[in-house]
Amino acid sequence: MAYKYLVIVESPAKAKTIEKYLGRNYKVVASVGHIRDLPKSKMGIDVENNYEPYYITIRGKGDVTKDLKKHAKKAEKVYLASDPDREGEAIAWHLSYILGLDPHDKNRVVFNEITKDAVKEAFKEPRSIDLDLVDAQQARRILDRLVGYSISPMLWRKVKKGLSAGRVQSVALKMIIDREKEIRNFTPEEYWSIDGNFKKGRKKFKANFWGVDGKKKKLPNEEAVKEVTSRISGKDYDVTKVEKKERKRNPAAPFTTSNLQQEAARKLNFRTGKTMMIAQQLYEGISLGKGGTTGLITYMRTDSKRIADSAKQEVTDFIEQTYGKSYAAHSNKKLKNAQGAQDAHEAIRPTSALRTPESIEKYLDKDQMKLYRLIWSRFVASQMKPAILDTVKATLNQNGVIFVANGSKVKFKGFMEVYVEGRDDGKKDKENILPELASGDVVQSEDITPNQHFTQPPARFSEATLIRTLEENGVGRPSTYAPTLQTIQKRYYVKLAQKRFEPTELGEIVNNLIEDFFPEIVDVSFTAGMEEDLDHIEEGKEEWVKVIDRFYQPFEKELDTAEEKMEKIQIKDEPAGFDCDVCGHPMVIKLGRYGKFYACSNFPECRNTKPIVKEIGVTCPKCQKGQVIERKSKKNRIFYGCDRYPECDFISWDKPVGRACPKCDHYLVEKKKKGGKQVVCSNCDYKEDVQK
């Protein structure tokens, strides 16, 4: 089939979508990501010659390159339509080199959404390749290569093979380890609260102790509590003050990459990599039946909060028609981007607010639907009016002992009609409606209960809270978070325990070495400063070679010192406490790529290994001979099985509790529920709550 123009994009899915929009004069093909890169087998950076990178065609891309050259020869003009960011610009630059195109020619096409109108509009105004963007991406790649290919081989020699270090991953690892140190060094402090249940007539409400004789008072111990409660006599309390206020609650801004990753973790339980994979699918296009393949969201790697005026107008009309005019914000206020945010494209939003989740549900799979609904709801809510809450604060007094009751009631839901942002603690905001109270009223206490508490250590990082902390500190960029978290887990520097990051012994060893010999690599402010330097390169304010040189000159000296002074660390094998069932030699506990395991000390003569399993103290309910042990699936999900497998094939996703159901005699398992746990029967409808 004859064509005049060749368009090159990264992915086959994107190519398929765009080709439908452009018509028969265009041929759209995919490079399938990068065509050229630095070699894997060596550094590939000439540090003696202005850090000149040595690029090669990526292994396995030979046939793709041949096809691209063949298509390019047939076309009158070649357009490069890779993604609208640094990475996409670099892909376009490498393609122009491979195909012999002039990078100054106007053959670069960018669009923020893959819809018919956006794509056609972009082809009306092609531009030349932005070499400042290319230099910024190239500088990042060279920096990461200098760090990774200098420190990693040293770690291989001094600790063990397979280790790695990187600019962003090393900072993320240090943050996790620093938090773990805070937890280990934490000393709990005792404190008390006094909670009261009160009533006015038949209406009941809660209030909490505030202070004594008009002054706020802390309750550090039981003696302080007794001092307060000794002043309480009888059940009548005077209402001395009632404050009523109207409070506005504003909607959250549309998603950037990092807060999409955080919210998907909180609300959908999605891992970061999964979120980005599904977002890519929604961006590149989904077949909507007769409507054809359409990109459903704007570009998903962005730290901009900007929204196009046309999108604002469309969503405002939609809100007015669906929820009423009183819900539409009609705001021209421009949301402020974070410092250093790239504003080349918009926040993440649906390509059309009229494409409601319900209208396209049948075309999306379950996970695509969940993420699209999240993006659509957040965007629509961001353009709605604030919620209005009526708040009440009532002060109760008896003999100078003061309790305070706080109540709130939603007066106007506003954006909350569509969406409410999630919280890291998993709690949801609830209305607390107080009875009608006025100064001079008398209310009665039903019970006054002192409660002892102890301060808690800071929580370990979840994926959501770690991404938020990295972003707040200016470390990394939207595209780096998912691969960073994957790498530190893949190297077994950290493990996920109950969805929280916990450092491993290996992670602490690597972090200590990098802290000792390469302190700037794990310094948050230094790494954030490097991100600013990369931004300056993109803006044409800095030369990339000078930025690299400022980093490398002191780094090279640190490398020489580390090579000389870093001692070899031997990770000793721990005795397992039993002998090998193959050769009789003692078994030991070894540290491997995926954690600890049992191995024969007679290696390599004997290669017997066993996984380390955790017994839960329950006899197998199926064979009544083996022990139930905790195992992990390929996706790292915990399940329970018999240690006599494969003789006994018992497995359960829920933890058996070692008791039989009193109703049907099948085994009972423990399940999580909101606010606690529940023991349920594996066969019938029997349930019992677990006492805390």
Q: Which two tokens stand for residue 43?
A: 């550094």
**Which residue type occupies 328?**
A
Q: Which of 664, 662, 667, 663 is nearest to 652 (CA)?
A: 667
Is 3 in the active site? no
Question: What length does the chain have?
Answer: 692
Q: Which of 135, 86, 89 is nearest to 109 (CA)?
A: 89
CA distance 228 to 251: 42
H or E stretch covering 197:
strand 190-200
* DSSP annotation of 457: P
Concatenate the DSSP letters of all residues of 571-640 into one string.
-PPEEEEEE-TTT-PEEEEEEETTEEEEEETTTTT---EEE--EEEEEE-TTTSSSEEEEEE-TTS-EEE
Q: Which two tokens stand for residue 587?
A: 């078994």
Residues 6+ apart with CB under 8 A from 310: none
Give bridge partners of residue 293 from the DSSP assignment.
287
Q: Which of 601, 617, 621, 618 is nearest to 609 (CA)?
A: 601
CA distance 224 to 230: 10
Query: Do the beta carbons of residue 200 and residue 207 sit within 8 Å?
Result: no
CA distance 225 to 234: 17
H or E stretch covering 145:
helix 131-158
CA distance 431 to 293: 43
What distances in angstroms separate CA 233 from CA 401, 445, 479, one per listed residue?
10, 11, 63
Q: Which long-range contacts (CB under 8 A, 24 or more apart) does 90-95 make?
A: 90/34, 90/133, 90/134, 90/137, 90/138, 90/141, 91/10, 91/31, 91/33, 91/34, 91/35, 92/129, 93/129, 93/131, 93/134, 94/34, 94/35, 94/36, 94/55, 95/8, 95/31, 95/35, 95/68
Catalytic residue among 299, 323, 372, 640: 299
The neighbour count for residue 398, using CB atoms within 10 Å, is 19
CA distance 686 to 692: 19
Give bridge partners of residue 56 from the DSSP assignment.
37
Concatenate the DSSP letters of all residues of 95-128 into one string.
HHHHTT--TTSS-B---SS-SHHHHHHHHHS-B-
Specify whether the backbone of 672 is left (phi greater than 0), alpha (psi in -120 to 50) or beta.
beta
Q: How far apart are the first and last CA of the chain?
A: 71
Find the angle CA(674)-CA(675)-CA(679) to the nearest 5 degrees: 75
CA distance 172 to 491: 13
Half-sphere exposure of 33 (CA within 13 A, CB side): 7
**Which residue type occupies 460?**
R
Q: Which two tokens stand for residue 391?
A: 């708040």
What distances in angstroms separate CA 248 from CA 8, 312, 378, 411, 415, one per listed residue?
49, 22, 18, 10, 11
Place of tokens 């993604």: 83
Q: Which residues are catalytic?
A: 299
